């Protein structure tokens, strides 16, 4: 799913920095640049939306883990630490081979 999301974002002009970046506090599915902004992307797959889309599953606990992982990433990549950052979610749904993608820019804030 991350590959489909990555390709989708590349098609919109984002540039890749990292994928599946793991830290003690959590993992970042994708880290990309949108202009000068560092974008931390969570990819969520759902076969259907019966229980809500993928973004619904990014609850407060998951958001906290993503923020902590983003901070760890920025500590490791200090040249990026002064740049603007945002958190996006890419919802993938349906056929895993050809999912429908919904890109939610600025899906949440670090202080949410």
CATH class name, domain 2-108: alpha beta
Of 45 and 18, the structure prediction assigns the larger pLDDT to 18
Closest CA to 39 of 103, 92, 110, 106: 106
The pLDDT of residue 50: 62
Question: pLDDT tens digits for 44-81?
Answer: 987 666 666 666 778 899 999 999 999 999 999 999 99
Core vs surface per residue 74-98: b (16+ CB within 10 A) or e? beeeeeeeeeebbbbbbbbbeeeee
Domain ranges within the chain, ordered by starting residue: 2-108
The pLDDT of residue 52: 60
d(CA 24, CA 21): 10
């Amino acid at each position: 799913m991350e590959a489909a999301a990555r390709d989708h974002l590349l098609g919109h002009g984002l540039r890749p920095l990292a994928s599946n970046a793991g830290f003690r506090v959590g993992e970042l599915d994708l880290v990309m640049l949108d202009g000068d902004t560092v974008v931390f992307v969570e990819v969520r797959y759902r076969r259907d939306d019966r229980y809500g889309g993928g973004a619904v599953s990014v609850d407060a606990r998951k958001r906290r883990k993503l923020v902590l992982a983003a901070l760890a990433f920025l500590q490791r990549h200090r040249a990026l630490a002064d740049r603007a950052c945002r958190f996006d979610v890419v919802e993938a749904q349906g056929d895993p081979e050809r999912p429908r993608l919904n890109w939610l820019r600025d899906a949440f804030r670090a202080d949410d």
